[in-house]
Structure 1
Amino acid sequence: MEDRYAFLAEWYDPTASLLRRYQLFFFPRDGSVEMFDVKNQRIFLRRTRYEDLNQEDLFVGNRVNVFSRQLHLVDYGDQYTANQLGSRKERTLALIKPDMVNRVGDVLERICSSKLLVTNAKMTTLSWKQAADFYVEHQSKPSSNLVQFASSGPVVALELMGDEAVSVWRTLLGPADSSAARKEAPLSVRAQFGTDSLKNVGHGSESLAAAARELEFFFPSTAGHGPANTAVYGDCTCCIIKPHALAEGLSGKILNSISEAGFHISALQMVRQSLQSPPETPRVYRGFLSQMMVRELSSGPCMVLEVQGAVQSFRRFCGPADPEVARHLRPASLRALYGDDRVKNGVHCTDLPEDGLLEVQYFFRILDG
């Protein structure tokens, strides 16, 4: 029989204010999909080819866009799918420490090359108590030096998903002492970027149970109860790394390009946009052309940045909206380097000076609230 993968998927219908459930079927032979309405017991979408959904997108917990509906995959639809796609899938926490936050792009590039997927991200600053509470989970008496360092500046928490993610990330990190890492695992992240056993780039969950606890600490299931984001809401502009760029593994390169150009990223957060946006949505998302952009932004997770500096200078750095034009006029701009077309053009940036604060507030205050 032909291979077919099945998932239980949820979609929030804003018109009816209902959470609708479907069985989503994916046929890898030709990339086609089919949807079955669970409540009404009828076919909702007959088998149709859909090029924007790939097998690597299919895992429990992910959100996928199928013909303008953002579906949350909440469970496997049958045992065959669970055995084929889910047996080795794990989630783990990667915590980037203060010594490496300015070079988080380098870490993201290494994560991408290891076939792990970043499914959530947040820049935050831990208080002394928060840092102590976090580390007490795997050290009964965390050292004051460790707690002080972890709370000394911003950190970036990443949720990683992939086959055997816990061990893959810990192997990628290398030995805890950076000096030992340079001898034992010279290609590891700590060997390349770490200083010692304290300033050693990052932290990785020790087990699946620890990963579940630590991910809940940074990305709690109850909104508003995790560590706060680091947005400062002053002298800022907004940048969004679009879903296609994240899917293509370009987030690390884009972050590195922004830093190398002299811009400071003061806040970072992964968000998932809905096609039905609240009334507070900035006016940049309104209008006919903007609807195509909103559709792209709703097709998967985005990485939103608060960037310090003038809106105009960062907009020049992003380049013209059309990447082909950008490659002729500003070949070193972000859209020239990472854009595909006018909609999938790598990044969104604030256009007007008066919109910089509004857009940052929308993503880091309203959506995060």
Structure 2
Amino acid sequence: MCCASDVFAGRSTFHLDEVHFPELSFMRLLLNSSIPLFPFFQSQDERYAFIAEWYDTNASLFRRYELLYYPKDGSVEMYDMKNRCRFLNRIKYEDLQFKDLFVGNKITIFSRHLNLVDYGDQYTSRMLGSRKERTLALLKPDVALKLGDVIDMIIRAGFTITKAKMTKVSRAEAIDFYADHQAKPYYNELLEFMTSGPVVAMEILGDDAISRWKNLLGPANSSVARTDAPNSVRACFGTDGIRNVAHGPDSFSSAARELELFFPSSGGRGPANTAKYTHCTCCVIKPHAVKEGLTGKIIKAILDGGFDISALQMFYMDRANAEEFYSIYKGVVAEYAEMVVELCSGPCVALEIRQVDPEKVFRDFCGPSDPEIARFLRPGTLRAIFGKNKIQNAVHCTDLPEDGLLEVQYFFNILDN
């Protein structure tokens, strides 16, 4: 006979219909698990379960946890799956939002960086898996000067940008991408246009994302869009049926295929970035600004300021990368440790900025590192407008002229490879 202590000691889940039948074997309990045991006894609050992975650098291995999230009060709870024990007692954690919880995302809980690799139970999968869709938002060459406006429009529509990369499409890649358009009379013109300049590929996530993104885009012909869907992306920024701002897949299978072209599931690099490594400096939109939906607004401000964004990519930094990138500040800046924690707390967006004497001009454009001082001395700067405090000050920019190229290379040459 199996006693309660056996169940608690040996596993973390059991099936509801077994509560009244303690004579069932432990093996049957183990094979028929479906509902977390500890949360069942502790609380009847609605909760969502995920399988999370953390890379233990000391042991050089991945450790798996069951992460439970309670939307009622924003609390979290964690269980070590290998050792079958509680890892983190239920505690309110305000830095984690419900919208951040989806398979494939990287989150941070008390400085521990976790990859959400799967749903933890059928309830969570049923409630969240069918609603959250991924699709491709491909911003075309004609959107270069309005890049910030379009990204901001996407964010304000409720989408989450989970991957982003500026790249240049080759003719062969364009032929592969637009294989379904070969019979169209505008096919050759479309290929010429798509290879004429950089594009920005983004994976966007949201409820019914495929259909909602198509609706936000509006009719393919921008002139028609201005009549039939005046608030759509193409109505606002498009020119005609070819130069129509952006592309969106029209089905789940198309979305999967097209995302694979730009963001291979194998973890491969995908198309090359567009970094030029000349007359450049580095800007990093910090994780807090990305989470707050400020990416588009910051990019718009940079472009409106007369700067050229020649490369763009979203990165998920781990602690080792963040410490390495900020190494010149170690022992020099009192906030070094907090800066590291912020940089690896979520996705950041790295930009290659180009202009004459870019390091000094762009550093002045960003303003003092303390937003309070910036708002007093230089109220029109990026940090004055978008920053919160010395750690969450919206953007990092290169401080030393000789480091501009090095920082750009760190992101677009080292990390991207």
Q: Say whether the fold is shared (TM-score over 0.5).
A: yes
SS, match of residue 72 in structure 1? strand
SS, match of residue 353 in structure 2? strand
Choose the corresponding residue for 2:330, options 286, 304, 310.
286
Matched, 1:4 2:47: yes
CA gap of 1:278–1:104, structure 2 versus 1, over 3 A, is closer
1:133-148 correspondence to structure 2 within 5 Å: 133-136=176-179, 138-141=180-183, 143-148=187-192
CA gap of 1:278–1:30, structure 2 versus 1, over 3 A, is closer
Choose the corresponding residue for 1:332, options 358, 377, 380.
380
Aligned residue number for residue 233 of structure 1: 277
Name the % identity.
58
Choose the corresponding residue for 1:174, options 214, 218, 234.
218
Q: Distance in 2 between matches of 1:279 and 1:318?
A: 22
Q: Is the 1:116–1:162 contact (alpha carbons within 8 Å) kept by the matching residues of 2?
A: yes
Matched, 1:208 2:252: yes
1:69-218 correspondence to structure 2 within 5 Å: 69-136=112-179, 138-141=180-183, 143-218=187-262
Q: Distance in 2 between matches of 1:3 and 1:278?
A: 36
Structure 2, unaligned runs of 5 or more:
1-43
Choose the corresponding residue for 2:292, options 228, 244, 248.
248
Give the counterpart letter for 1:355 in structure 2: D
Choose the corresponding residue for 2:360, options 312, 316, 335.
312
Choose the corresponding residue for 1:58, options 101, 123, 129.
101
Using the size of structure 2 for normalisation, the TM-score is: 0.86
Q: Distance in 2 between matches of 1:65 and 1:32?
A: 14
Shift of 1:4: 1.1
Shift of 1:289: 2.1
SS, match of residue 26 in structure 1? strand
Q: Is the 1:101–1:156 contact (alpha carbons within 8 Å) kept by the matching residues of 2?
A: no
CA gap of 1:242–1:225, structure 2 versus 1, over 3 A, is closer
Shift of 1:224: 4.4
| Greater Cα radius of gyration, structure 1 or 2 | 2
Q: Is the 1:106–1:256 contact (alpha carbons within 8 Å) kept by the matching residues of 2?
A: yes
Matched, 1:18 2:61: yes
Q: Distance in 2 between matches of 1:101 and 1:171?
A: 22
Give the counterpart letter for 2:61 in structure 1: L
1:62-114 per-residue CA deviation (whole Å, 9 max, x = no partner) reads: 11111111111111111221222222110000000000022111111111111
Larger relative contact order (CA 8 Å, sep ≥ 6): 1
Aligned residue number for residue 4 of structure 2: none
Give the counterpart letter for 1:114 in structure 2: A
Matched, 1:296 2:339: no
Using the size of structure 1 for normalisation, the TM-score is: 0.97
Give the counterpart letter for 1:62 in structure 2: N
Shift of 1:283: 3.0
Shift of 1:280: 5.8
Structure 1, unaligned runs of 5 or more:
none
Q: Distance in 1 between matches of 2:129 and 2:210?
A: 15
Matched, 1:68 2:116: no
CA RMSD of aligned residues (A): 1.4
Q: Distance in 2 between matches of 1:139 and 1:13?
A: 47
Q: Distance in 2 between matches of 1:176 and 1:278?
A: 42
Q: Is the 2:269–2:416 contact (alpha carbons within 8 Å) kept by the matching residues of 1?
A: no
1:168-203 per-residue CA deviation (whole Å, 9 max, x = no partner) reads: 111000000111111111111101111110000010
SS, match of residue 314 in structure 1? helix
Q: Is the 1:282–1:362 contact (alpha carbons within 8 Å) kept by the matching residues of 2?
A: no
1:20-59 correspondence to structure 2 within 5 Å: 20-59=63-102
Give the counterpart letter for 2:348 in structure 1: C
Matched, 1:359 2:401: no
Q: Distance in 2 between matches of 1:289 and 1:261?
A: 29
Q: Distance in 1 between matches of 2:255 and 2:313?
A: 20
Q: Is the 1:339–1:345 contact (alpha carbons within 8 Å) kept by the matching residues of 2?
A: yes
Aligned residue number for residue 261 of structure 1: 305
Q: Distance in 2 between matches of 1:201 and 1:224?
A: 27
Moved more, 303-312 or 217-226: 217-226
Aligned residue number for residue 342 of structure 1: 390
Moved more, 356-365 or 282-291: 282-291
What is the number of equivalent residue pairs in this alignment? Answer: 368
Question: Whose helix fraction is larger, Structure 1's or Structure 2's?
Answer: 2
Give the counterpart letter for 2:370 in structure 1: D
